[in-house]
Every structure is written in C-alpha cells, then in structure tokens.
Chain A
Amino acid sequence: MSTENITTTAAISPEQAERIKRVVCEILEIGEDEVTETSLFIEDHEADSLRAIEILASLEKEFGVVIDQAELPKMVNLRGVHLVTADAAGW
C-alpha cells in the first residue's frame, strides 16, 4: 500500500481519466497539457496541502464518492489520484 501501488496503473476508462485531469488542472490553475501522469502536484505544480484536499473534495463531488482522507498522501500525482479514485468508486 505505498509507493509500489503508485507505479501500477488503475483500471479507469479514458473518459474517467479525462474528467479527473480536468478537475485537477482547474484546481492547480494549469493547462491540461502541462500535467503528466507522474508530474508531482506540490513539487512541479506549486500546489500545497490545502489544494490537495481540494482535489480530493472535488473528485468526491465529481464522481459522487467519498474518499478517505487517509489516502491523501498517495494523491501526489495523476497516477496516484487515479488509483485512489478508482478504489473509492469501486471501478
């Protein structure tokens, strides 16, 4: 349940991935072409812990799921977010 998981790929559809990316980019105030699966929100995109919680909250609203806040440390990049969201949504 730590770094190995982040390197695996979540079972999500391209459409779901697009929606996640849109949410993340809006919060980070960056273009969708600026973020990659592995670019780090805090180190590469000037996010902070409040932004990270905001991403979590927005995904909950977008997909109608509840994400455990204990998952926050995994949500460091898009790949981590995919895994956590897929897990919460039961995809």
Chain B
Amino acid sequence: MVLTGLGVVSSIGFGPQEFAAGLRAGRSGARPISVFDTTGFEYANGCEVVGFDPTEWLRVTDPADLGRASQFSVAAARMAVRDAGLEESELAGKRGLVSVGTTDGEAVDLEALLETSLNSGSAAMDGQTARRVPATMLSLAIARELGLSNVSAYTIATACSAGNYAIGDGFDAVRSGEVEFALCGGADAMCRKTFAGFYRLGTIAPDCCRPFDADRKGILTGEGAGLLVLESLDSARARGARIYAEVLGYGLNCDAYHQVAPNQESIQRCMRLALEDAGVKPHEVDLISAHGTGTQANDVTETRAIRGLYGDQPPRTISVKSMLGHTMGAASALGAIACALAITHGFIPPTINHRSSDPECEIDCVPNESIEADLRVVQNNGLAFGGNNASLILGKYSEKELVS
C-alpha cells in the first residue's frame, strides 16, 4: 500500500512542494488570529490559513454551500488527486473510499447560527448555513466535486487523531482489495469555541508553540487540511506513479481513562500495536513525528511513552505543531504528509521555537533547524480527547527490495 498523491492546505503553504519547503525551512504559521473576533482574550495567536480562495478549487459546488472545513477538504483532495497524476474521470470508474477526519467539522457555522438565534430568535436561522453543518459534508463534498459515485464517503470524527484514523481505514480498505483507491486525511477550520475551551484550560500559548521546551506554554490552534491518495503498489506501478512512501501499518486504541488527560501506558500500547502491525522493530524506526502539542501534560506523557517503548535511545522525535499549530482533525494527516515528504526528500523537519529542552522530555526534538537524513521507517502519532489514540507507520519505498 503506497502513498502516491498529497494535498495540503496549511498555514505554511499549499500543496506538497510549498509545504515541504516550509517544513525544511522551519517556517512558522503563527500570526494574530483574524478569522474570528478575539476581543476579550488577552492573547490570541493562531496558525490560520491565509489567502485561500475556494473558487480556485470548486467547479460544481457553490462555495456558499460548503463550510470552511469542507472547502479545505475539497481543495486538498483535488490537489492530492492531481499530484498523484490521476484524472478525476479515471477515478470515477474505480471503486474507492473517501474518508476525512475532523475535530470540529463546521463548528464555525454552528456559532454563526447560534449568534443569529441569540440576536433574532431561532426562527431566523439561515437554512443554507444549517445544511452545511453535518460532519459528513467534509467527505461528501469531495465525492460530489470530483464526481465520485462509486465510493463510500464518510467522516471520521475522532477529534485530534482523526487524520490517522482515516488513513488507517484507507490502508485496510485498499489492502483487502475492496477498493482500488482511498482518498483520506483530515480537515478542520479554526473556531472560536475550541480556542476558548483550550484558553479556559490554560493550554493556549501566548506567543508561539514550543513543544518539548522547558518554557512551553501550550498549543496554538491552527487549521487546514491534508488529503492523501492511497493505492496498492501494483496499481501505482502499473500507471507509473511516483511513490512518496509505503504505508506499513497502524495502531488504534482507546485509553478508557479520562476524556482530556493523556495516558502513558495506553499511548505506549498504541505505538506498540502500530509497530507490530507494520512488522517493524523499535530499533528500525528512524523518526517519530509526535503528537507534540506543546502542553505540559501531552509532551511529558508522550515522551515517557516513547521512552517506555523505545528505551533510552529513542529515535529523533519532532513536532510539526511547532510550525502548523494544532490543526485538530487535520493534524495527524498533515503530520503523515510531513513524514512522507521527509522520507521522499531525505530531511527531518525541525521542532521550531525551541530555546531550552525540558529535562522531563528526554528526546532529541531536532531543535529549530531541519537536518538531512536518510529515513527508512517513520512513525506518526495522533492522540485525542476521548483517549482516541492512533499511530501510523510509513516506510521508504525502494524498488530493490521488491526484487529480493
């Protein structure tokens, strides 16, 4: 099972080339939030997507029929298909899966409806906005735009690990031969209620996100979408497609412990399940793209889980959230894309904004500057509210190994 197309909408660039350049340069997406009114918050930086024009990406759908997350989702899907060198008409003739992960879906629209309701009464809500709201729209919008009828299209709503959940699902569907391709990933649009919630929990950083840093103050919320084209190696080779990486396996589990707090033992088990599924030994892993939110609780717990599984010499462990902020349901999809690009282009994206390492986070987070590296096996973590953990393993694709 291989990744042959990548689509990216992010605060540090659109499309795989720009995104890869941003990751290599350690670009920061942080800026003062403008997508919602930040009055009353003492600080409000975020990693928002700037300069996104939905009309560039929508051909059959009226942009006003889609919320911002669905627009991101469609744009990234169209990019991924194009990047894979596939014609949309060609895809329409194949059985496929469209699976998009999200945390908040179109919560921005729900807030707008609520505002109407508070100001003018519930009878005054806008119907077009209301129809954008069901989370299934994030995946159905892709099917509709690309003209895909013979697909199963649904949205995975497992919060901040949803991207990995969706990619794993696509991997299983392609692997068992029930679909010829999977278009999967995650999308989210920044919304005020989630910002306010994290702010209330004391987990929004005032300036920037510093994962694994002794002075880390929390997350920055972000937004965007990452969609990937997954197909079998045979299918990719038959059409001479470029292969970014192989999906080797993944693991899913649930803490069943606390809605918000992470659980070390359970995260460790999730990563172990992923390695077992991929048939990979811990010492073979070259890089971990951590969930790495930059909160006190996450970074210590995740680091301990990594050391628990990998021992005293764990692989380098980075957090792309230092650059992208926490893009919620898109986070682990963008993380997976970052891993695929890192494998393809032979570099490790840095953990930016780093000043001094937290002695409680005993990992090499590749501070501030990217480094060249030949990566063979990479792990991408996604953790979430509800204890929904998902860990994905990608590997370098090489022709030679097929001969043997």
A57 contacts the other chain (Cβ, under 8 Å)?
yes
A89 to B202 Cα, complex, angstroms: 21
B242 contacts the other chain (Cβ, under 8 Å)?
no
A85 to B363 Cα, complex, angstroms: 40
B257 to chain A, nearest CB (A): 11
Interface of B is mostly: loop
Query: Which residues 19-54 in A have Cβ within 8 Å of B in the complex?
Result: 48-50, 53
A48 to B263 Cα, complex, angstroms: 13
A76 to chain B, nearest CB (A): 16
- Chain A residues whose CB sits within 8 angstroms of the CB of B202 once the complex forms: 53, 69, 72
Q: Which residue of B lies closest to A50 (CB)?
A: B260
Contact B261 A53 (CB under 8 A): no
Contact A50 B261 (CB under 8 A): yes
Number of A residues, CB within 8 Å of B: 7
A53 to B201 Cα, complex, angstroms: 7
B23 to chain A, nearest CB (A): 33
B298 to chain A, nearest CB (A): 13
- Chain B residues whose CB sits within 8 angstroms of the CB of A48 once the complex forms: 258, 261
Q: Which residue of A lies closest to B202 (CB)?
A: A69
Contact A53 B258 (CB under 8 A): no
Number of A-B contacts (CB under 8 A): 15
Q: Which residue of A lies closest to B199 (CB)?
A: A69
- Chain B residues whose CB sits within 8 angstroms of the CB of A72 once the complex forms: 202
B196 to chain A, nearest CB (A): 12
Q: Which residue of A lies closest to B259 (CB)?
A: A50
- Chain A residues whose CB sits within 8 angstroms of the CB of B200 once the complex forms: 53, 57
Interface string of B254-285 (1 = CB under 8 A from A): 00001111000000000000000000000000
A73 to chain B, nearest CB (A): 11
- Chain B residues whose CB sits within 8 angstroms of the CB of A50 once the complex forms: 201, 258-261
A53 to chain B, nearest CB (A): 6
Query: Taking each of B202, B258, B259, which has the highest tally of chain A beta carbons within 10 Å of its own beta carbon?
Result: B202
Interface string of B232-262 (1 = CB under 8 A from A): 0000000000000000000000000011110
A50 to B197 Cα, complex, angstroms: 12
- Chain A residues whose CB sits within 8 angstroms of the CB of B260 once the complex forms: 50
A83 to B261 Cα, complex, angstroms: 28
- Chain A residues whose CB sits within 8 angstroms of the CB of B297 once the complex forms: 49
15 contacts between A and B (CB under 8 A): A48-B258, A48-B261, A49-B261, A49-B297, A50-B201, A50-B258, A50-B259, A50-B260, A50-B261, A53-B200, A53-B201, A53-B202, A57-B200, A69-B202, A72-B202
Binding site for A on B (CB under 8 A): 200-202, 258-261, 297
In the complex, the 9 A-B pairs of residues with the closest C-beta atoms, listed nearest first: A69-B202, A50-B260, A53-B201, A48-B261, A53-B200, A53-B202, A57-B200, A50-B261, A48-B258
Having A48-B258, A49-B297, one finds 7 other A-B pairs with CB under 8 Å, namely A48-B261, A49-B261, A50-B258, A53-B201, A53-B202, A57-B200, A72-B202
